[in-house]
C-alpha cells in the first residue's frame, strides 16, 4: 500500500480529527535547526528572536567587509607595539555605525512581527469535541476541521468536505492569489457531500475519520493530487476540492473543510519566495571598490613594510639613535610590525563612515518619499512609503518595469460606456457624467456609468424595436447567474465583461431575473417574460463568441449571438445594412480603447432547429474529437445573422496610467505587463494605457516561437517588414510587442537559451505582455530579465499574486489597493496609485541616484586622498609609519570636519528641478546607463585622489624644506590644506545652494579652525599632555605668512584640475542645455502623444476558458440562484440527469489555466 | 474610504518636506569662467612676482662644517679619538649682511621624524612632574633607565640625541678677533617655554637636588640642571637650545635656529669683512652619512629665502592664464561652428 502511494507521489498523510497523530510530528525549530513534518499555521516573516538578535545581527553586520575590517583595525590598535594612532579614533565610529544599524534592523523586525501578529490573530472556527470554537489562525493544525463563513478569508489550505449549498458547491474569490476577480467554484466530493451533510452536520464532521494522502507541500497553485481513504474506499482528489489559504469564500453561507497544508506548507506561502536581502548595484560596485582599496592598501603597506625593512637593514645600524630604539630586532620583524602600523595608518582610506552616511542619506531620501505630498492619495489617506531603506538610488536606474495588470494598471471595473444600435452611437466618453434618472426601474441597483437620455426615452416609449431587441439579446445571451438580495438581482459571472453587460441591461430596464436549466426569466420594462432555453453555444477562446437559442414567449425561435467583431461580422447576412457606420463606430470605440462586442440575432425556422438539434444530440454521443465536431455544428447555426448593435465596455484604467506609461517609455524604461488574465484583455489594456502605439504589431504564438528558434532574433525582426525597416529604422524597431502566455513561458524556461533571446528580442520591442501566468511564473520572468539583461528591474503589483515577483525584482513596489495588503507588506516601496510611479522614479529616483553617486565619489576621493598622504611622507621618515596628521585630526576629519557639507548635498542637491525631471524624462537615462558611478568614473576618481594626495604632501614639503619650521607646523599646514581642498571640492559639487548647505560649509570650516585651536590650547594640554601635545602648533603656524601662502597654493593646485574640467565642460556644452535648469514651463504630457493610424481592435474576453455554459445546461449551479420554489425541482432533475463522475470532467475547463 | 476618526497621514506641505527650499543655483557660463580663470591667473602671477622678488633680496650664507674633505677645517674633529675638539671656520662678507641676522645650524640625513624617535619623550616628566622623574613612561624605553636602572631625566631618544655643538662668532678686524654677541633668548616657541616645559620646583633651594635619584641622558656630557649655570631661566628643561631641539623637524634635512645677532655693533647686521667661527665639535654625524651646516640668513615678511614658493605661484598663475586663453579659443571655435549649424 505504502509503495503504491510512493509511486503515485502521495506521501503527505492527513488524518481528520486525529489531533495526537499530527501533534507528534509538528515542526519545531531551535535557532536555525528545524525538524518535524507539519508546520503550524503561524506566519513568521521576522528574522530575530530576543535570543538570536545580538549574535545574528552582529553576524549580519560583520558580513559587510568594511565593518569586519574596522573591527580588525580596532584590535590592531590595541596592540601597543603597532599602534600608530590611539585606539579610540576607530573604535568610536565603529560602535556608532553598529549601533545605528542594529537599531534600524530591530525596528524593521518589530514592524514585521506586528504585521505577522495581525495575520496570526485573525479568528476562525475549529471543530472541537464541544462543537465549533472560535480560535486564532495560528492555532489551526493539520487535520483540524474548520468552518468558514461567507466573506471570510480561508486560513489554511482546506479540503472541502461539504457546504451549505446544494451539491456542496462553494464559490471563492481568488483575487489575492491570481489577481482574477471573477468567482470560481469548488465542489466537494459527492461522497462527503452526501454522507456529511444533513441536520447533524456537526456530529457527522466530528465522526469523520477519513485519511487524506496527497502530495507534499508545493507551490503549484493549479494542481493538486491526492486521495481520500474513507470507509474502505479510495476517492481521487484534485484542485477542485481544495480551498486555498488567502482566498475568500463568497456566496456560500458556510463551508466545512479539512486542513491539509497549514502555515508555510500552504500553497500561497510556498509561492512566496524567501525574504531576500536586496543590495543595489551601486552598493555592490562600492563594495568592490572598497575591496580594491583594501587590496591596494595591503599592497602599499606591504611595500612600505619592505621599505621599512630595507631602511632597517641599510641605514639604522649606522644610526645609533634609531637602532637602539629598535631593540636589536631583525629587519624582517620590524618590517612586519611596520606593516600593521601602516595598515592602521592607511585605514582611514576605507570609507567606514561612508556606510553610515550612506544609510543616513538613504533614510532621509525615504522620508522625503513619504513626505511628498504629490504622492499622497487622499481617498485612502495613504502617503507613499519606503519600506526598504537601501534601494533609493536604484530608483534612478530602473530599466525594466514589470507591472501587474489587474488593480495596478486597471481599476478592475468594467463599465458599459457606449453602444451602437441601428446607426446611432449612444453614450459619450466625457469624464463628468450626468447620472440618468432610473427611478422608474424598480430593479435598478445603480452603478451605471452610461448617460444618454435619448436611448432611455426610446426604450421607455418602445419606439425603437432595434433597441429593444438589442437589450433583449444582452439580457438573454450570457452565462450569468443571478442571486436575490434585498429584492434586487445580483449577478455572478464568470467574467466581469458579461457582468457589466447584464448589469447595463438591467439598469436600462431589461432585467435578467433568474434561470433554470431550461428557462430564462427576464423582465422587459417591467413585463416578466419567460424564454425557453433550447441550446447554449458556449464560448471558447477559439470561437470567440457565444450564442443562445431560445424560444420566445410568442413561440418564435431566436438565436442571439455576441462575440468579437471579426467573427460576428463575417457571419452576418450578405450585404447587411449600415456596414459603413458600423465600421466607423467600431473604429471610434477602438480609439477610445473600449472593448467591443458585436451582438446579433437570427430567426431560426422550426425545421432547421429540429434538424440541427438531431445533429447535436448525435454529436453528443459520438466518440472522437468532440470539441471540433461541436464547433462545426455550432458554426452551422451561427450564420445569416442580423447585426443588432455593438457594445463598448471600458476597462477602467487607474488614474493617469497612460500618461505615466508614456512618460516612463520616454525615459527609456521597458514596461512589461505580467498578468494572470487572458491574452485579449491584456492586449487591450496594453493599447489603452499607451504601452504600445496603436499601430504596433503583436508578435505572438507560433511567430514568436519561430523568432526564438532562429539563431539570431534581430535578423527576423528586420526581415519582417523590410521596406519600412530601410526607410525608418527606429520606427520599426519600436513598433512591435511580444505577447506570450503562461504555458508558452513554461516551455520556454525549459530551453534556457531562449530566455536570453527573448530578452534580447524584447529590447527591440515596445513592450512585452505575459498573459495567464502564475505568481511563480511572474517571478520567473523577473528572474529571467535580471539574468539576461544588465538593467535594474522593478516590479509593481497590488495583490498577493504579485508578492513573488515583487520580492524577486531589484525593486518591488506595492500598491495599497483593494486586494489586500500582502503586496505592500512585501514591497520595498508602497504607493497609492500607479501614476505616482512617475514621480517616484523620475524625480525621487533620479535625485537619489545623482546625489548618492556624487556623494560616493566625493567620499572615496576625500578618504583616499587623505590617507595616501601618509605614503608620500613615509619616503621621508624612514618608513616608520609616522602619521602626517595629528591623531585628533584623523578621528575628526571624516566625522566632524567634512561630513556635513556632503550630507547636505546628499539631502538637498538637485541637478535639475522637479519640473525638468518630469518634462524631460530623457534625463533619467543617466541612471540607466550608470553614467555617474561606473568603474571608469571610479578609476578616475581614485586617480584624482592620488594626484591630490601628491600635491597635498609635496607642495608644503617643497616650500617648508627651506625653512626652520618643525613637524607640527607641517602637520597643521597639510591638515589645513586637506580640509580646504575637500571643502572647495564639495562646493564645486554643490549646484543647489540652500541655506543649510551654506551653513554646513561654514560650520565645518569654523568647526575645524575652532577645534584645532582648542585642541592645541593650554587647557587641554595641562589636562592630558600626552593626548594634546600639539600645544601651540596651530596658533604658531597660523601666525606665519609662509604657512598661509603654502596652504593657499596647495589648495589651488589640488583643485585646479577639477575646476578646469568643469570650466571646459561649461565652455564646451551647448548653451541651450541650461534651459533645463531654469525652465518653468508647465508639464504638458499630452502634447507629446501623436496618434498614429488606428487599427480596429475587438476582443471578446468574456471568459478565460469555457464559461459556465455547461454548468447551466446541466443545471448544477442553478439552484442557489433560482427562486426558492424552483430549488427542489432542479436539484432533483440534476440527480436524475447528471451521470455520476461527470462533474469533475465538466468543471475542469473553468478552473484550469 | 477616508475615515474621519483616523488621523490624516497627509504629509506636511512645507518647502523642506516638498524639497522646494529656496536655493541659489549658480549657473556657470563661458562669460564667467574665462574671465574668472584670467583673474585668478593674474592674481597668482602678481603674488608670485612679489614673492620671487622678495626672496631675491634675502641674503643667505651656508657653510658645511662636517669635515668630510681632508682639507676642510673640521676634518681633524671627525677622528673619533679626539675629545673636546675645536675647529675654526672662516668666511668673509663682501657687503653688509643686513640684520637682524639669524644663525641656524642644519643637519641632513637625520631622521628626527622617525616615528619611534618622535614618541620617545615623556611629556609629564618635561612638565616638571617629579613623579615621572622616578619612573619615566614606557615610551622612553630604552632611554628611560641606565644600565644600573636609574631613571634618566630627561628621558627618551630625542633628549638623549640633543645637538651639542656650540659656536662662537668673531669678526676679524685687523687680525684681532672681535666677538660677535649672539642672542639666545626667545629662540624657542613661546608656548614651549611658558607652558609645555616646566622645571621641577627646587628642593631646599637647590635646583639640582630636584633631580636627585636620577641620572643624565647617556649621551649628555652634563646633567639637565647644568645646561646653563649662568642663567636660571635658561637652565634645566627651559634651556632654549634644549627646547629648540625637542621641537622635532618634519623632514630628514632640517635647520634649527641657534642664535640671533641683534645686539651691540651688529644690531644692523654683519658688516663686510672677515669672520671666524669657532666650532666646539661634539656631535657625530658621519656614521650615518649626515652633514652639519651653519646658516646665516636674514628674513623678510614672508620668512626666510624661499624661491620655490614664488616660482610655484608663477607657474600656477601662468597655467591659469594659458587655460583661459585656450578656453577662449575653444569657445570661439565651438560657438562659431554652433552658429553654422543653426
What was the pLDDT predicted at A1086?
Answer: 33
Candidate from A373, A1018, A1066 with C-beta closest to B33? A1066
Question: Residue A1105's pLDDT band (boundaries 50, 70, 90)?
Answer: very low
The SS3 of residue B175 is coil
**At residue A584, does pLDDT exceed 80?**
yes
Q: Which residue has the cell 493549479?
A: A222
Q: Is A621 annotated as a binding residue?
A: no
Q: Residue A146 is placed in which grid cell?
A: 474548520
pLDDT at position A1080 is 42
Distance CA A83, CA A881 (A): 10
For the stretch B104-157, pLDDT in tens is 999 998 889 888 888 888 989 999 888 888 888 888 888 888 888 899 988 989
Residue A675, marked binder: yes
| pLDDT, mean over chain A | 81
Give tens-digit pLDDT for B272-324: 999 999 999 988 888 888 899 999 998 888 888 888 999 999 999 999 999 99
What gap in Å lies between CA A884 and CA A978, rounded to an integer? Answer: 11
Distance separating alpha carbons of residues A725 and A736, to the nearest angstrom: 12
Query: What ranges in A10-87 are assigned the alpha helix state H?
Result: 19-24, 53-61, 65-77
Q: What is the number of residues in chain B?
A: 342
A182 and B CB contact within 8 Å: no
Q: Could you tell me which of A1103, A1108, A802 has the C-alpha nearest to residue A179? A: A802
Choosing among A311, A325, A1068, which should be mutated to test the B contact, i.e. which has the most B CBs within 10 A?
A325
- What local confidence, expressed as pLDDT, does residue A460 receive? 86
* Residue range A1018-1058, pLDDT digits in tens: 999 988 888 888 999 999 999 999 999 999 999 999 999 99
End-to-end Cα separation, chain A, in angstroms: 33
By the CB < 8 Å criterion, does A59 face chain B? no
Mean pLDDT of A1121-1142: 36
Closest CA to A395 of A367, A366, A354, A358: A366
Chain B residues close to A84, C-beta within 8 Å: 115
Name, in order, each residue with C-beta under 8 angstroms of A677's C-beta and a sequence gap of 6 or more.
A179, A180, A405, A406, A771, A772, A1104
pLDDT at residue number A288: 86
Q: What share of chain B has pLDDT > 90, as a percent? A: 43
Residues 6+ apart with CB under 8 A from B63: B89, B91, B277, B293, B294, B295
Relative to beta strand A792-797, strand A811-815 is parallel
Spatial CA neighbour of A483 closest among A474, A469, A473, A493 = A493
CA distance A312 to chain B (A): 12
- All three cell numbers of B165: 655643538
Whether A404 sits among the annotated catalytic residues: the reply is yes
Q: Look-up: residue for cell 469548488?
A: A186
Q: Residue A162: helix, strand or coil by DSSP?
A: strand
Q: Smallest CA–CA separation between B296 and chain A, in Å?
A: 12
Closest CA to A921 of A672, A663, A662: A663
Could you give the CA distance from residue A855 to residue A392 in angstroms, rounded to a whole number?
13
Residue with more model confidence, A184 or A691: A691
Which of B121, B159, B153, B157 lies closest to B134 in space, CA to CA?
Answer: B153
CB B1 within 8 A of CB A379: yes
- Percent of chain A predicted with pLDDT > 90: 23
Asked whether the predicted pLDDT for residue A1133 surpasses 60, the reply is no
pLDDT mean over A903-922: 91
Alpha-carbon Rg for chain A, nearest whole angstrom, is: 37
Peptide bond before B14: cis, by omega within 30 degrees of 0?
no
Contacts of B2 in chain A (CB under 8 A): 378-381
The pLDDT score that the predictor gives to residue A1120 is 39
Q: Is the distance from CB of A963 to CB of B304 less than 8 angstroms?
A: yes
Among candidates B19, B33, B195 on the partner chain, residue whose Cβ is nearest the Cβ of A1063: B33
Residues A801/A176, Cβ–Cβ less than 8 Å: yes
From the list A404, A565, A651, A1126, the catalytic residue is A404
Residue contact B251–A957, C-beta within 8 A: yes
Starting at the earlier edge strand, list the strands of the sheet with A183-187: A183-187, A169-173, A248-250
CA dist., res. A789 & res. A537, Å (int): 47
Q: Please report the beta strands in A435-526, taking only residues with DSSP state E, as ranges in sequence order.
A: 481-485, 488-492, 510-515, 519-524
Find residues 257-316 of chain A whose CB sits inside 8 Å of chain B.
315
DSSP reduced 3-state for A651:
strand
Q: Enumerate the β-bridge partners of residue B101.
A: B261, B298
For residue B186, what are the contacts with CB-CB under 8 A and spacing of at least 6? B193, B240
CB spacing of B23 vs A1068 below 8 angstroms: no
Q: Is A595 annotated as a binding residue?
A: yes
Chain B CB contacts of A324 under 8 Å are 142-143, 157
For residue range A398-451, list pLDDT tens digits in order.
Answer: 999 999 887 788 887 788 888 999 888 888 777 666 777 788 888 888 778 888
**Using CA atoms, how far apart are residues A1089 and A922, in angstroms rounded to an integer?**
15
Residue A34: in which H helix or E strand, if any?
strand A33-35
- Stretch A68-77: mean pLDDT, rounded? 85
CB nearest A371 (choices: B2, B17, B302) = B17
Name the residue among B244, B166, B135, B27 with its Cα closest to residue A1072.
B27
Nearest to B111 among A322, A372, A958 (CB): A322
Q: What is the pLDDT of residues A860-887, one digit of tens each?
A: 999 999 999 999 999 998 888 899 999 8
Chain A residues 1039-1058 within an 8 A CB cutoff of chain B: 1040-1042, 1045-1046, 1049, 1052-1053, 1056
For A94, the grid coordinates are 565603529
- Under an 8 A CB cutoff, do B113 and A876 touch? yes
Q: What burial class does residue B124 get, using C-beta atoms within 10 Å of its C-beta: 0-12 exposed, 13-18 middle, 19+ buried?
A: middle
Amino acid at each position: 500500500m505504502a509503495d503504491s502511494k510512493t509511486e503515485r507521489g502521495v506521501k503527505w498523510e492527513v488524518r481528520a480529527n486525529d489531533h495526537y497523530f499530527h501533534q507528534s510530528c509538528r515542526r519545531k525549530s531551535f535557532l536555525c535547526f528545524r525538524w518535524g513534518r507539519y508546520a503550524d499555521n503561524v506566519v513568521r516573516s521576522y528574522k530575530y528572536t530576543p535570543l538570536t538578535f545580538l549574535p545574528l545581527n552582529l553576524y549580519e553586520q560583520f558580513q559587510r567587509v568594511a565593518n569586519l575590517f574596522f573591527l580588525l583595525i580596532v584590535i590592531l590598535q590595541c596592540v601597543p607595539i603597532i599602534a600608530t594612532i590611539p585606539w579610540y579614533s576607530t573604535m568610536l565610529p565603529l560602535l556608532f555605525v553598529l549601533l545605528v544599524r542594529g537599531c534600524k534592523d530591530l525596528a524593521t523586525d518589530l514592524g514585521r512581527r506586528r504585521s505577522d501578529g495581525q495575520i496570526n490573530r485573525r479568528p476562525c472556527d475549529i471543530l472541537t469535541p464541544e462543537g465549533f470554537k472560535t480560535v486564532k489562525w495560528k492555532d489551526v493544525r493539520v487535520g483540524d476541521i474548520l468552518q468558514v463563513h461567507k466573506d471570510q478569508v480561508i486560513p489554511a489550505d482546506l479540503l472541502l468536505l461539504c457546504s451549505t449549498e446544494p451539491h456542496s458547491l462553494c464559490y471563492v474569490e481568488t483575487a489575492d492569489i491570481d489577481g482574477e476577480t471573477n468567482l470560481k467554484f469548488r465542489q466537494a466530493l459527492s461522497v462527503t457531500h452526501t454522507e456529511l451533510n444533513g441536520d447533524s452536520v456537526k456530529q457527522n464532521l466530528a465522526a469523520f475519520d477519513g485519511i487524506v494522502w496527497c502530495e507534499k507541500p508545493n507551490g503549484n497553485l493549479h494542481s493538486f493530487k491526492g486521495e481520500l481513504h474513507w470507509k474502505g474506499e479510495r476517492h481521487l482528489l484534485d484542485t477542485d476540492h481544495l480551498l486555498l489559504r488567502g482566498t475568500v469564500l463568497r456566496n456560500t453561507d458556510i463551508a466545512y473543510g479539512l486542513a491539509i497544508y497549514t502555515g508555510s506548507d500552504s500553497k500561497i506561502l510556498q509561492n512566496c519566495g524567501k525574504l531576500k536581502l536586496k543590495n543595489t548595484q551601486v552598493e555592490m560596485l562600492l563594495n568592490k571598490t572598497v575591496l580594491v582599496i583594501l587590496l591596494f592598501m595591503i599592497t602599499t603597506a606591504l611595500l612600505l613594510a619592505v621599505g621599512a625593512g630595507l631602511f632597517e637593514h641599510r641605514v639604522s645600524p649606522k644610526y645609533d639613535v634609531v637602532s637602539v630604539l629598535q631593540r636589536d630586532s631583525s629587519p624582517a620583524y620590524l618590517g612586519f610590525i611596520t606593516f600593521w602600523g601602516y595598515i592602521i595608518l592607511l585605514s582611514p582610506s576605507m570609507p567606514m563612515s561612508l556606510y553610515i552616511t550612506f544609510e543616513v542619506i538613504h533614510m532621509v531620501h525615504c522620508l522625503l518619499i513619504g513626505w511628498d505630498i504629490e504622492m499622497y492619495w487622499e481617498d485612502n489617506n495613504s502617503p507613499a512609503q519606503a519600506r526598504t531603506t537601501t534601494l533609493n538610488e536604484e530608483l534612478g536606474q530602473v530599466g525594466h518595469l514589470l507591472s501587474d495588470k489587474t488593480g495596478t494598471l486597471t481599476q478592475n471595473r468594467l463599465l458599459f460606456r457606449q453602444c451602437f444600435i441601428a446607426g446611432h452611437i449612444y453614450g459619450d466618453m466625457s469624464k463628468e457624467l450626468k447620472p440618468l434618472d432610473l427611478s422608474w426601474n424598480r430593479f435598478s441597483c445603480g452603478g451605471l456609468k452610461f448617460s444618454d437620455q435619448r436611448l432611455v426615452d426610446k426604450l421607455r416609449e418602445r419606439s425603437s424595436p432595434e433597441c429593444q431587441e438589442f437589450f433583449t439579446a444582452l439580457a438573454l445571451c450570457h452565462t450569468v447567474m443571478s442571486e436575490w438580495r434585498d429584492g434586487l438581482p445580483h449577478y455572478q459571472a464568470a467574467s466581469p465583461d458579461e457582468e457589466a453587460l447584464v448589469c447595463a441591461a438591467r439598469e436600462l430596464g431589461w432585467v435578467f431575473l433568474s434561470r433554470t436549466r431550461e428557462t430564462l426569466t427576464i423582465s422587459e420594462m417591467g413585463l416578466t417574460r419567460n424564454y425557453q432555453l433550447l441550446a447554449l453555444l458556449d464560448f471558447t477562446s477559439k470561437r470567440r463568441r457565444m450564442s443562445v437559442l431560445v424560444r420566445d414567449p410568442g413561440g418564435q425561435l431566436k438565436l442571439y449571438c455576441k462575440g468579437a467583431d471579426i467573427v460576428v461580422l463575417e457571419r452576418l447576412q450578405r450585404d447587411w445594412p449600415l456596414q459603413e457606420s458600423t465600421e466607423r463606430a467600431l473604429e471610434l470605440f477602438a480609439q477610445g480603447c473600449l472593448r467591443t462586442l458585436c451582438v446579433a440575432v437570427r430567426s431560426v425556422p422550426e425545421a432547421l432547429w429540429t434538424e440541427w438539434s438531431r445533429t447535436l444530440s448525435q454529436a453528443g454521443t459520438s466518440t472522437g474529437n468532440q470539441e471540433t465536431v461541436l464547433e462545426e455544428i455550432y458554426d452551422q447555426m451561427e450564420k445569416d445573422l442580423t447585426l443588432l448593435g455593438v457594445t463598448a465596455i471600458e476597462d477602467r484604467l487607474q488614474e493617469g496610467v497612460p500618461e505615466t506609461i508614456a512618460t516612463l517609455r520616454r525615459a527609456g524604461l521597458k514596461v512589461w505587463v505580467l498578468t494572470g488574465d487572458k491574452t485579449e484583455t491584456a492586449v487591450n489594456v496594453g493599447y489603452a494605457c499607451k504601452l504600445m502605439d496603436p499601430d504596433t504589431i503583436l508578435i505572438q504564438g507560433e511567430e514568436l516561437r519561430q523568432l526564438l528558434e532562429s539563431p539570431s532574433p534581430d535578423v527576423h525582426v528586420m526581415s519582417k517588414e523590410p521596406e519600412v525597416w530601410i526607410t525608418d529604422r527606429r520606427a520599426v524597431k519600436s513598433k512591435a510587442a511580444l505577447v506570450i502566455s503562461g504555458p508558452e513561458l513554461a516551455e520556454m524556461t525549459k530551453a534556457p537559451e531562449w530566455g536570453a533571446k527573448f530578452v534580447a528580442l524584447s529590447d527591440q520591442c515596445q513592450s512585452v505582455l505575459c498573459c495567464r501566468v502564475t505568481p511563480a511564473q511572474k517571478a520567473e520572468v523577473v528572474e529571467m530579465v535580471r539574468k539576461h539583461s544588465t538593467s535594474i528591474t522593478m516590479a509593481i503589483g497590488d495583490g498577493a499574486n504579485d508578492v513573488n515577483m515583487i520580492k524577486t525584482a531589484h525593486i518591488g513596489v506595492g500598491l495599497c489597493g483593494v486586494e489586500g495588503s500582502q503586496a505592500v507588506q512585501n514591497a520595498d516601496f508602497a504607493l497609492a496609485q500607479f501614476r505616482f510611479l512617475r514621480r517616484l522614479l523620475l524625480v525621487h529616483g533620479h535625485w537619489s541616484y545623482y546625489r548618492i553617486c556624487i556623494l560616493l565619489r566625493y567620499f572615496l576621493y576625500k578618504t583616499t586622498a587623505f590617507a595616501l598622504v601618509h605614503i608620500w611622507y613615509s619616503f621621508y621618515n624612514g618608513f616608520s609609519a609616522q602619521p602626517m596628521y595629528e591623531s585628533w585630526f584623523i578621528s575628526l576629519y571624516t566625522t566632524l570636519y567634512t561630513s556635513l557639507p556632503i550630507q547636505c548635498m546628499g539631502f538637498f542637491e538637485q541637478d535639475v528641478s522637479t519640473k525638468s525631471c518630469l518634462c524631460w524624462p530623457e534625463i533619467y537615462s543617466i541612471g540607466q546607463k550608470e553614467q555617474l558611478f561606473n568603474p571608469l568614473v571610479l578609476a578616475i576618481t581614485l586617480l584624482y585622489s592620488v594626484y591630490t594626495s601628491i600635491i597635498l604632501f609635496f607642495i608644503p614639503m617643497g616650500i617648508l624644506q627651506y625653512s626652520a619650521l618643525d613637524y607640527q607646523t607641517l602637520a597643521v599646514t597639510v591638515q589645513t590644506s586637506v580640509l580646504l581642498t575637500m571643502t572647495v571640492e564639495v562646493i564645486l559639487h554643490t549646484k543647489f545652494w540652500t541655506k543649510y548647505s551654506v551653513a554646513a560649509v561654514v560650520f565645518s570650516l569654523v568647526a575645524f579652525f575652532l577645534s584645532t585651536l582648542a585642541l592645541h590650547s593650554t587647557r587641554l594640554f595641562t589636562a592630558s599632555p600626552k593626548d594634546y601635545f600639539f600645544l601651540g602648533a596651530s596658533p604658531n603656524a597660523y601666525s606665519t605668512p609662509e604657512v598661509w601662502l603654502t596652504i593657499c597654493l596647495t589648495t589651488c593646485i589640488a583643485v585646479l584640475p577639477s575646476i578646469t574640467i568643469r570650466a571646459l565642460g561649461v565652455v564646451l556644452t551647448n548653451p541651450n542645455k541650461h534651459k533645463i535648469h531654469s525652465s518653468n514651463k508647465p508639464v504638458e504630457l499630452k502634447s507629446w502623444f501623436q496618434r498614429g493610424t488606428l487599427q480596429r481592435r475587438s476582443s471578446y474576453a468574456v471568459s478565460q476558458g469555457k464559461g459556465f455554459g455547461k454548468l447551466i445546461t446541466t443545471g448544477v449551479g442553478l439552484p442557489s440562484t433560482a427562486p426558492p420554489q424552483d430549488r427542489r425541482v432542479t436539484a432533483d432533475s440534476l440527480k436524475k440527469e447528471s451521470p455520476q463522475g461527470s462533474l469533475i470532467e465538466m468543471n475542469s475547463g473553468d478552473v484550469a489555466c | 474610504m477616508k475615515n474621519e476618526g483616523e488621523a490624516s497621514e497627509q504629509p506636511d506641505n512645507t518647502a523642506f518636506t516638498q524639497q522646494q527650499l529656496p536655493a541659489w543655483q549658480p549657473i556657470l557660463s563661458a562669460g564667467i569662467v574665462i574671465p574668472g580663470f584670467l583673474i585668478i591667473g593674474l592674481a597668482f602671477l602678481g603674488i608670485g612676482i612679489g614673492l620671487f622678488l622678495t626672496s631675491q633680496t634675502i641674503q643667505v650664507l651656508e657653510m658645511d662644517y662636517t669635515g668630510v674633505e681632508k682639507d676642510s677645517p673640521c676634518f681633524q674633529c671627525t677622528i673619533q679619538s679626539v675629545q673636546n675638539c675645536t675647529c675654526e671656520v672662516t668666511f668673509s662678507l663682501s657687503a653688509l649682511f643686513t640684520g637682524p641676522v639669524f644663525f641656524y645650524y642644519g643637519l641632513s640625513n637625520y631622521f628626527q621624524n622617525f616615528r619611534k624617535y618622535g614618541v620617545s619623550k615623556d611629556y609629564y616628566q618635561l612638565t616638571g612632574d617629579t613623579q615621572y622623574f622616578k619612573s619615566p613612561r614606557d615610551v622612553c624605553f630604552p632611554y628611560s633607565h641606565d644600565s644600573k636602572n636609574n631613571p634618566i631625566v630627561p628621558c627618551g631618544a630625542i633628549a638623549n640625541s640633543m645637538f651639542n655643538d656650540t659656536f662662537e662668532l668673531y669678526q676679524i678686524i685687523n687680525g684681532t678677533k672681535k666677538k660677535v654677541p649672539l642672542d639666545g633668548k626667545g629662540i624657542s616657541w613661546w608656548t614651549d617655554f611658558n607652558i609645555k616645559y616646566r622645571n621641577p620646583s627646587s628642593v631646599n633651594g637647590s635646583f639640582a637636588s630636584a633631580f636627585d635619584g636620577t641620572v643624565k641622558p647617556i649621551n649628555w656630557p652634563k646633567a639637565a640642571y647644568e645646561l646653563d649655570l649662568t642663567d636660571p631661566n635658561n637652565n634645566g628643561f627651559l634651556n632654549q637650545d634644549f627646547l629648540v631641539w625637542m621641537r622635532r623637524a618634519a623632514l630628514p634635512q632640517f635647520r634649527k635656529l641657534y642664535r640671533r645677532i641683534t645686539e651691540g655693533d651688529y644690531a644692523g647686521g654683519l658688516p663686510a669683512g672677515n669672520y671666524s667661527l669657532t666650532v666646539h665639535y661634539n656631535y657625530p654625524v658621519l656614521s650615518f652619512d649626515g652633514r652639519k651646516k651653519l646658516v646665516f640668513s636674514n628674513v623678510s615678511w614672508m620668512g626666510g629665502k624661499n624661491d620655490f614658493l614664488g616660482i610655484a605661484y608663477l607657474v600656477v598663475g601662468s597655467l591659469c592664464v594659458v587655460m583661459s586663453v585656450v578656453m577662449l579659443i575653444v569657445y570661439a571655435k565651438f560657438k562659431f561652428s554652433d552658429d553654422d549649424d543653426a
